[in-house]
């Protein structure tokens, strides 16, 4: 959208009438969250008694049509790339098993489980990936809008959420446009508001994995955080699975699995779930075909050591994992940084044109190790910190370190290294990798800052008009088969997964105030949005 047109959208008045209609639509169509409630509140024993609308943008946000299509077109290649990383044991051993697993306890625990299961022998070679690749528009001030590009923020391999609620927000905006309550605008039309297949697409991926498992009487298990507020992004997947595919899904809090999961006797190792109470006419225990993790991506999700035991038990079973622990490791930020190196990307992507397309979407990423590149990056992190963000190996938002906070944070890591060294050797001797090697340095993406939006936070009756930035996510589905002995991969040229499914299925737009660095919806930084596709 040209600069003058951008200033005209969204409209400067009429918000109250749109808000009233939008709020009622949201509540009547499941665009909702559970309200914040203390876990000690007795009323929380029945959490379904009240809801508030989820955070949403009152108007669709202008997004360049060309860049939206570019992100869509890239997803199949990204799906393939991360599937191949998942099955490349030597690569994960080198990239995660080196410094990262030694300085990041959480990644180290995941890596140890992966190594143990590999040593015991993979009991389920199939793995399901419900991926999401996130992008920002890169719009340096010295470039015209026709030369703006998209740059990847991150690639999510576990718990890529908001497929359901993003689908709902797109429906909301198309309803408001069709109702005539939005004022006329030269680029506003139903055709400019793309349909979003994210909900149906992720459900189809779960159904494909369930079918590949080979037992129609088994059920899919979605594992959630305890006291999950975002249940209404999750339940629609269960409803879609049953309505469209005839597949049942049980939704279980992570902590409940400590006492309810077992394995059937060797050599089969089916994963069996014994519900605390009987579920209608379903057999007991239930055989699980697919374990869909909507938790387990942060240290705080492992409430006790028993959750780590549960994660290992699941990996040792014949159930299909979404994701497997190897696939979760493939989503580490360190992997993203290493793949930005041309020689490593060439290891996985043979086609020169495809490599060029992927590299065009990369921003600058640097290690913080003792290599020459790492030493240069460390110096720049101190001297040019305003150009960078420091990222740990974490998902879920709220974990990054930005700009002027970077030098102080790096100093603290250095002091922690010295304190650890003092307990094992002389105080001036550094043993093992440094703490900063668990982080990567990423150049900040220069997003357009001339867009406005009305942000309606969760449960609020009024919206807040603000200058905003939008982040686009593209959902992908992969069902892969990992070779137990490597012979089939060798026949395909090595380091290649066998893909039974590779699909691009929908999108998510999250919008936040320009002054906010973080972008998570669940953490309160962003609202869910949908794109208004425009031409420069």
Catalytic residue IDs: 132, 154, 156, 161, 333, 391, 395-396, 510
Residue 395 annotated as binding site: yes
Residue 510 annotated as binding site: yes
Residue 512 annotated as binding site: yes
Residue 234 annotated as binding site: yes
Residue 65 annotated as binding site: no
Contact 135, 151 (CB under 8 A): yes
Rg (alpha carbons) of the chain, rounded to whole number: 23
Cα distances (angstroms) measured from residue 17 to each of 7, 23, 183: 21, 10, 11
Backbone φ and ψ for 513, nearest 5 degrees, come out as -65, 150
Residue 14 annotated as binding site: no
Contact 75, 26 (CB under 8 A): no
Q: What is the dihedral of CA 166, 171, 176, 177, to 10 degrees?
A: 110
Residue 511 annotated as binding site: no
E strands, 71-212, are 126-138, 149-156
Rounded CA-CA distance 127/498 in Å is 11
Helix ranges, 316-364 (H): 325-330, 333-339, 342-348, 352-361
Residue 132 annotated as binding site: yes
Rounded CA-CA distance 19/190 in Å is 20
Residue 333 annotated as binding site: yes
Bridge-based pairing state of the strands 61-64 and 531-534: parallel
Residues 6 or more apart in contact with residue 477 via CB below 8 angstroms: 79, 128, 129, 130, 131, 201, 202, 204, 205, 208, 501, 502, 503, 505
Residue 394 annotated as binding site: yes
Residue 295 annotated as binding site: yes
Residue 161 annotated as binding site: yes
Residue 156 annotated as binding site: yes
Residue 158 annotated as binding site: yes
What residues form DSSP beta bridges with 272?
262, 287
Residue 406 annotated as binding site: no
Contact 442, 388 (CB under 8 A): yes
Residue 492 annotated as binding site: no
Rounded CA-CA distance 79/136 in Å is 19
Residue 495 annotated as binding site: no
Residue 399 annotated as binding site: yes
Helix (H, G, I), strand (E, B) or coil at 94: helix
Residue 302 annotated as binding site: no
Q: Which of 272, 271, 270, 226 is nearest to 251 (CA)?
A: 226
Residue 518 annotated as binding site: yes
Residue 445 annotated as binding site: yes
Cα distances (angstroms) measured from residue 324 to each of 110, 253, 330, 372: 10, 18, 10, 34
C-alpha of 84 from chain center: 18
Residue 357 annotated as binding site: no
Residue 77 annotated as binding site: no
Token digits of residue 442: 């990423």
Rounded CA-CA distance 328/156 in Å is 9
What residues form DSSP beta bridges with 506?
475
Residue 324 annotated as binding site: no
Tell whether omega for the bond before 252 is within 30 degrees of 0, i.e. cis: no
Rounded CA-CA distance 479/79 in Å is 10
Residue 446 annotated as binding site: no
Contact 391, 331 (CB under 8 A): no
Residue 49 annotated as binding site: no
Residues placed in the known binding site for ATP:
154, 333, 391-400, 402, 442-445, 471, 512, 518
Residues placed in the known binding site:
132, 154, 156, 158-161, 228-230, 234, 294-297, 333, 391-400, 402, 442-445, 471, 510, 512, 518, 521-522
Residues placed in the known binding site for substrate:
132, 158-161, 228-230, 234, 294-297, 510, 521-522
Residues placed in the known binding site for Mg(2+):
154, 156, 395
């Amino acid at each position: 959208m040209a600069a003058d047109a951008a200033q005209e959208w969204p409209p400067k008045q009429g918000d109250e009438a749109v808000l009233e209609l939008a709020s009622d639509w949201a509540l009547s169509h499941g665009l909702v969250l559970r309200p914040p409630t203390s876990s000690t509140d007795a009323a929380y024993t029945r959490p379904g008694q009240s809801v508030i609308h989820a955070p949403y943008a009152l108007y669709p946000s202008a997004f360049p049509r060309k860049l939206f299509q570019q992100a869509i077109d890239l997803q199949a290649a990204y799906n393939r790339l991360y599937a191949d990383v998942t099955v490349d044991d030597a690569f994960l051993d080198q990239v995660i098993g080196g410094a990262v697993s030694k300085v990041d306890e959480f990644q180290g625990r995941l890596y140890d489980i992966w190594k143990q299961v590999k040593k015991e022998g993979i009991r389920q070679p199939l793995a399901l990936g419900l991926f999401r690749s996130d992008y920002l528009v890169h719009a340096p001030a010295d470039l015209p809008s026709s030369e703006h590009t998209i740059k990847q923020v991150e690639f999510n391999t576990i718990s890529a959420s908001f497929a359901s609620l993003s689908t709902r927000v797109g429906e909301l905006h198309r309803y408001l446009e069709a109702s005539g309550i939005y004022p006329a605008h030269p680029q506003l039309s139903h055709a400019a508001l793309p349909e979003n297949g994210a909900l149906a697409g992720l459900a189809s991926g779960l159904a494909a994995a369930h079918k590949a498992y080979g037992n129609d009487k088994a059920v899919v298990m979605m594992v959630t955080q305890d006291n999950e507020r975002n249940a209404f992004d999750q339940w629609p997947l269960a409803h879609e699975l049953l309505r469209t595919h005839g597949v049942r899904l049980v939704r279980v809090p992570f902590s409940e699995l400590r006492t309810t999961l077992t394995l059937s006797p060797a050599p089969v190792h089916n994963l069996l779930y014994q519900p605390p109470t009987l579920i209608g006419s379903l057999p007991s225990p239930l055989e699980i075909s697919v374990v869909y993790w909507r938790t387990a991506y942060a240290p705080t999700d492992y409430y006790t050591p028993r959750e780590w035991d549960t994660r290992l038990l699941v990996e040792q079973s014949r159930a299909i994992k979404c994701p497997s622990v190897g696939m979760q490791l493939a989503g580490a930020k360190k992997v993203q940084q290493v793949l930005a190196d041309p020689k490593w990307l060439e290891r996985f992507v043979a086609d020169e044109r495809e490599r060029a397309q992927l590299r065009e979407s990369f921003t600058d990423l640097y290690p913080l190790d003792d290599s020459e590149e790492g030493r240069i990056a460390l110096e720049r992190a101190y001297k040019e910190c305003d150009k960078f963000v420091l990222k740990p190996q974490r998902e879920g938002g709220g974990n990054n370190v930005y700009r002027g906070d970077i030098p102080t944070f790096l100093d603290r890591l250095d002091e922690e290294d010295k304190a650890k060294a003092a307990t094992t050797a002389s105080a001036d001797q550094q043993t093992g990798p440094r703490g900063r090697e668990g982080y990567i340095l990423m150049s900040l993406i220069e997003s357009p800052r001339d867009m406005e939006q009305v942000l309606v936070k969760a449960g609020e009756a009024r919206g807040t008009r603000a200058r905003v930035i939008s982040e686009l996510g593209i959902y992908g589905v992969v069902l892969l088969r990992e070779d137990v002995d490597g012979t089939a991969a060798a026949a395909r040229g090595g380091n290649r997964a066998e893909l039974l499914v590779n699909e691009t299925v929908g999108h998510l737009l999250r919008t936040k105030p320009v002054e906010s660095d973080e972008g998570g919806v669940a953490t309160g930084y962003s609202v869910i949005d949908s794109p208004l596709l425009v031409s420069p």
